[in-house]
Structures are given as structure tokens and as C-alpha cells.
Amino acid sequence: MSKHENIKNKVSDIEAMSSSHWNSINPEYVARMRMQNRFKTGLDIAKYTASIMRKDMDEYDDDTSKYTQSLGCWHGFIGQQKLISIKKHFKTTNKKYLYLSGWMIAALRSEFGPLPDQSMHEKTSVAGLIEELYTFLRQADARELGDLYRKLDNASEIDKAAIQNQIDNFETHVVPIIADIDAGFGNEEATYLMAKQMIEAGACAIQIENQVSDEKQCGHQDGKVTVPHADFLAKINAVRYAFLELGINDGVIVARTDSLGAGLTKQIAITNQKGDLGDQYNSFLDVEEVDSDNMNHGDVMINQDGKLVRPKRLPSNLYQFKKGTGEARCILDSITSLQNGADLIWIETEKPHIGQISGMMNEIKKVIPNAKLVYNNSPSFNWTLNFRQQVFDAMESEGKDVSAYERADLMNSSYDDSELAIEADNKIRTFQADAAREAGIFHHLITLPTYHTAALSTDNLAKEYFGDQGMLGYVAGVQRKEIREGIACVKHQNMSGSDMGDDHKEYFAGEAALKAAGKDNTMNQF
């Protein structure tokens, strides 16, 4: 018995037990609507997607070629179109996720208007976007299944079995979302409350970073301020309690460290004995030894290995770490997080360099052998310049002639067809596979690609449409490409749900239904 028929039989049982005034309800239509609405709540989604992530994590442990990927999406429509495109091109959504970027929430979804990535946007906006994304993905399910049901109704008996098989084996557009909770938006109670909202909206994975909430900066900006491990672990605990309270036992926590680029801390950690976490954190502080003769009024002193030392305090009242300690702090942060509740780690680097990433991951794996990394393939990196310079340096170290290249000017288009540029592009192309194999990267994401693609496509259209090309700028640059490349959105009325609405009108009103999809609907031109 097909999945559809099983649902239909259950509906018929309900009908049989109900009073006669239900006799206008068609079990076939109810079965279709239930198939089209697989997930009833955000918690249903969170449970389903958490199990997917856990399965993917296990598969990666066995085979590093089975890494996962996502793109940051700032609107439900963008996320929906991404998943429709993935299904069209790859026939499956396997190991393809969504990333919800706090950066794009701030820049594009705040009621205050565009904001920098400094946790100034509304706390509820993250959960709101999660719910929006899943609303659009569920609509994509309903739309595609609706199209299949209409095909089924109009198909010959020979074709019906194949279409029914597509319906019964339908793969949902609903995939895991890794959602950015920034630095937790306050104390651990605030983190817990916000995490609950995000999980109830459908999030199965929450990413949290070890910066001070009220001093939070984008991971690729200056001025980052970290917190002692105890503060960060309290927030990891808060997220875990939120998952467990809501019954999402497989919920995933991604612990991000910004220590590589953060040279500052707001607090001196509490330490009770030599070598504890607080002591290790404080050991990285930039200090100078003092005695009674060189102490100043208001100085803060700590005892470090039996010596009285003064941590360097800046006019901002922040304390400074020793230069060159970033990697060691990242390693300690990552190990500590994985030992205390985190499932995955995220190390924010200043450049995409597999050697740098693997160097830290190898140290982490000495303690946590199955440590897995989430990595930001960030648009904040100049990928072309970084990889051309990496290839230049490798060629130089191998004794090859690099006199034809100016290292500082490798972005120049004159190098585009050179041996160096071709090699750099190939390394960019294989970066994800190479880094997954060599540096323990389980999940590759790009934080804000659709921010840039929206700007680029709009620029291209504006340049052509308002210029000499006029209407041809839209027709040749957009619509003709949509038609020829099979972009579903070219039938925008269908994408908006018009055909599904017609289906429902027929269910509800029968022959009296006023439908939009008649012969005069211009969508028939496509």
C-alpha cells in the first residue's frame, strides 16, 4: 500500500466514525493536503532535522568526503529558491543545509534599519527568520506535490504508477538550519529564552560564540573581546537545557571561538587552583612583574606562579592578551567547549588557509579524536588574492621562477590566464573537499553569499534596463535565461501559490470554484 493510500484509509476511518454532515469531505483531498503538509510545528521540524545532522556527523566520521554545506539566506524566498534549485540540479537535498547569519539579520532584517554585526538587532528577529524560512520550504513541498497531483489527475493509466511513485517517495525541501545566536544576547537566562524561541521555530542547530555580548563584533572585524570559559560554558548549558526541555534530545550546539582575532578580554578569570581553566585563561594575559616600588594607584594585581604581576589594562578598561597566543587560545577554547557540551566547533580565521586550520585541528584531535569543525568560507576573504599568494609562496619555496609576478598585485586581471592563477583557482575549487579531508571540516558554509548575489543581479538589471538595452535588459538578462534554464520562478503565479489555491477552492467549493488558472492566465505562455 502506498503512503498516500495509507493516509487516505486513516481519513476514511475518521469519516466513517463521524456524523453524516461530513459527507461532503473527500478523503482523497484530505490525504493530499496531509501529504503536502508533513510538518505541523517547528518542533516537528527540529526533531526531524536534528536526526539528519546526527546521521551526517556519523557518516563524516567514517568518510571525510561526506562533508556538508550551506549558504546563508536572509529571506524565506531566498532559502526556498536555493532548495528548489538544489533538488532540480542534484535530485536530492542530502547534506545540503541552510545557514542563518546574524550578520544578515542585522544588515537586512532589523526594524532599526541596516546595522553592523554587533548584536544590536531585535532578539526575536532570528526566531522570526527561522519560522519564515521553514514556512517557505513547506510551501515548496506543497507546491511540488500539488503539481504532481494535478499531473496524476490528467495522466494516462500507463503513467499514473510512475507519478504515484514520485509522490510516495517525495523528498522534502525541509533541511537543517544552523542558526546564529551571536554571543547569546545577554546573560545565560537571556540565551536560554532566545534559544527556546529558535528551537520552537524549527532550529535543530544553534551556533554561539565566546565574545562579550555587549561588545560583540563581527568575526572579521577588529575590537573583539572574549569571555572566560566559565561564562561561555554557562551559555552552552543554557542552550542544551532549552533543547532538552523541548524534547529535542539530538539538538546540535556549535561553539565558535573568535580568539584567533581577539586580543582583548573584559574579565580576569576566577581561578581556584593552579592549572584550572581560569588559570589557563589568565596565563595568556599580557602582564608585567611588579613590586611595592612600581605599583600605581588603582592597579589590578594577580598572583601568577608566585609572582605579583600587573595585567596590561587599556583606557577602555579591557585587558590585553599576549601577542601570538591566538592559536593556543583557539585550541584551548575548542577542547574545553567539546568537553563541556558542544557538538561541533567553529574557528573564525583571518584567511582560508588549510595548513593553518589543520594545525589547530590536529592539536584539538589529540584530545578529542572525533572533533569536527564548522567553517566559514567567508566573503570577507579575498579568495582570489589569498590563494594566488599561497601559490606564489609555494612556488617560491620550491625554487621556481616567480619573477613574472608581483605578489602584492596578484589580483590584477592580467594574471588571470597565468599558470599561477589557474593553479590558485583549482585550489579554490577543491578547497572544501581538501579541507574536509585534511582539516576536519564537517560543514562548509558561506555566511552572506545571497547578500552579494542580490546586489550583483540588481546592479546588472539596473545597468541594462535603465540604459540603452531598455526592456531587452530584463528579457535577455533575466526572463529568457529563466525559461531556458528551467527556473521554476519564471511561473511566478504558480510559485506564489495560485495553483494550490485553485486546488483548495475546488476541494472546498466543487464546481462553483472560481479559479485563476483559466485560459486567460498569462502563465500559460511559459
The Cα 351–Cα 307 span in angstroms is: 38
* Dist. CA 134–CA 80, nearest whole Å: 8
Which of the following is catalytic: 73, 204, 218, 330?
A: 218
- Mark residue 114 as left, alpha or beta (left: phi above 0; alpha: psi -120 to 50; beta: remaining): beta
- Element at 135 (helix H, strand E): helix 124-154
| 105 touches 180 (CB < 8 A) | yes
Element (H, E) at 357: helix 354-365
Is 218 an annotated catalytic residue?
Answer: yes
Q: Half-sphere exposure (CA, 13 Å, Cβ side) for 377?
A: 24
Residue pair 440/67 in contact (Cβ under 8 Å)? The answer is no
Distance CA 11, CA 34 (A): 10
Beta bridge partners of 72: 99
Which residue type is seen at 473? G
* Among 56, 54, 52, 55, CA closest to 65: 56
Q: How many CB atoms lie within 10 A of CB 468?
A: 8
Residues β-bridged to residue 98: 71, 177
Strands, E assignment, 273-407: 287-289, 302-304, 307-311, 319-320, 344-347, 373-376
Q: How far is CA 495 from CA 77, 140, 142, 487, 498, in A?
A: 10, 8, 11, 11, 7
What angle separates helix 354-365 from helix 431-438, to the nearest 10 degrees?
20
Q: Which residues contact 294 (CB under 8 A, 6 or more apart)?
A: none
3-state secondary structure of 147: helix
| DSSP structure class, residue 186 | S
Report in angstroms the alpha-carbon separations of 90 from 67, 69, 93, 169, 430: 16, 14, 8, 16, 19
- For residues 103 and 109, the answer to whether their CB atoms sit within 8 Å is no
Q: Which residues are catalytic?
A: 218
